[in-house]
């Protein structure tokens, strides 16, 4: 039995600049951290060798992956050439569609688990790129790359997106600084959920109109990073407020 987990993330500054319509013209940058909440994927060989079993909010049992209703699992199994004799189950610490990148955490954990199922332990970068290919190329989701990379690498990072490349710069925070950030940040579940795809479609359509604003958001990642490292909590709060207004 293989169990893989991928963390959920909080994105602070730069969201929307990880879309290709932006970063093919100007470097996109995002600063984010993962949190102690996860999406779990369990993969096992099934005794029913001619079947595929998938359990999430519902249970599916089919003869071929093409028959699956779960879009991500169907595409992932077809991509990996796994056509029978496998059971997959997913669990999560948080509800879906709450803005924490859970869909990409699912994709990262799934692709890593399927590679392990085939005897290969892939790197964080390969896991991120496999999840990006799954979501962007195979199932045509209108998403960027920040969530897949955040889930694959974990921790507090600055990501830079350019055409054909993604760079990852981890931030090393001492214990005192971590405690201070945790004491000044609060995360609430409002009970409201939403589908990120519709939001991202709108963002993509409005990128040209808001290009200069997105450039400012991308560049502001450096200021946010510097204030994190200085422990300037007040300025971080001001930047978060400005970013959401």
pLDDT bin (cut points 50, 70, 90) of residue 206 is low
- C-alpha–C-alpha distance, residues 157 and 179, integer Å: 17
Neighbour-count burial for 203-213, b at 16+ CB within 10 Å, e otherwise? bbeebeeeeee
Contact between 159 and 30 under an 8 Å Cβ cutoff? The reply is yes
Per-residue pLDDT tens digits for 168-200: 999 999 999 999 999 999 888 888 777 665 555
The pLDDT mean for the chain works out to 93
pLDDT of residue 215: 96
> What is the tens place of the pLDDT at every residue in 12-47?
999 999 999 999 999 999 999 999 999 999 999 988
Looking at per-residue pLDDT, the higher value among 97 and 139 belongs to 139
What residue spans define the domains of the chain? 2-244
* pLDDT on residue 190: 85
Q: Looking at residue 107, what is its pLDDT?
A: 99
- The answer to whether residue 56 scores a pLDDT higher than 70 is yes
- In this prediction, residues 111-128 reach a mean pLDDT of 98
Q: What is the pLDDT of residue 205?
A: 62
SS3 letters for 168-228?
EEECCCCHHHHHHHHHHCCCCCCCCCCCHHHHHHHHHHCCCCCHHHHHHHHHHHHHHHHHH
Give the whole-angstrom CA distance, residue 107 versus residue 26. 27
- Residues 135-140: what's their mean pLDDT? 97
Q: What is the structure's pLDDT at 244? A: 75
Which pLDDT score, from 0 to 100, does residue 46 have? 87
* pLDDT exceeds cutoff 70 at 48: yes
pLDDT > 90 fraction of the chain, expressed in percent and rounded = 82
For the segment 200-220, the average pLDDT, to the nearest whole number, is 79
**pLDDT value at position 144?**
95
The CATH architecture to which 2-244 belongs is 2-Layer Sandwich (3.30)
Q: What is the model's pTM? A: 0.93
Give pLDDT tens digits for 67-78. Answer: 999 999 999 999
User: CA–CA distance from 99 to each of 62, 146, 190, 193, 238 (Å)?
Assistant: 31, 13, 11, 8, 21
Contacts (Cβ under 8 Å, ≥6 apart) of 4: 40, 41, 43, 109, 110, 112, 113, 116
22 burial (CB, 10 Å; 0-12 / 13-18 / 19+) is: buried
Q: What is the pLDDT of residues 79-91, one digit of tens each?
A: 999 999 999 999 9
User: Which residues 6+ apart lie within 8 Å of 183 measured at CB?
Assistant: none
Q: Are 23 and 15 in contact (CB under 8 A)?
A: no
Residue 10, helix vs strand vs coil: strand
Q: What is the pLDDT of residue 203?
A: 61
Tell me what pLDDT residue 200 has: 59
């Amino acid at each position: 039995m293989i169990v893989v987990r991928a963390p959920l993330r909080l994105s602070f500054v730069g969201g929307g600049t990880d879309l290709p319509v932006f970063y093919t013209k100007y470097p996109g940058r995002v600063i984010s951290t993962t949190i102690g909440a996860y999406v779990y994927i369990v993969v096992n060989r099934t005794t029913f060798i001619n079947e595929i079993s998938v359990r999430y909010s519902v249970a599916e049992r089919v003869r071929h992956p093409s028959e699956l209703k779960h879009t991500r699992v169907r595409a992932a199994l077809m991509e990996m050439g796994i056509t029978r004799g496998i059971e997959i189950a997913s669990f999560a610490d948080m509800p879906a569609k709450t803005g924490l990148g859970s869909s990409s955490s699912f994709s990262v954990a799934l692709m890593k688990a399927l590679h392990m199922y085939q005897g290969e332990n892939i790197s964080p970068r390969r896991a991120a790129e496999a999840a990006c290919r799954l979501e962007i190329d195979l199932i045509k989701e209108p998403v960027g790359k920040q969530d897949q990379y955040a889930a694959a690498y974990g921790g507090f990072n600055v990501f830079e997106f350019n055409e054909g490349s993604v760079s990852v710069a981890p931030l090393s925070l001492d214990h005192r600084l971590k405690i201070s950030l945790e004491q000044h940040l609060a995360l609430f579940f409002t009970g409201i959920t939403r589908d990120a795809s519709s939001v991202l479609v709108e963002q993509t359509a409005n990128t040209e109109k808001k290009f200069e604003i997105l450039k400012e958001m991308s560049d502001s990642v450096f200021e946010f990073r510097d204030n994190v490292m200085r422990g300037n909590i007040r300025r971080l709060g001001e930047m978060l407020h400005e970013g959401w207004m």
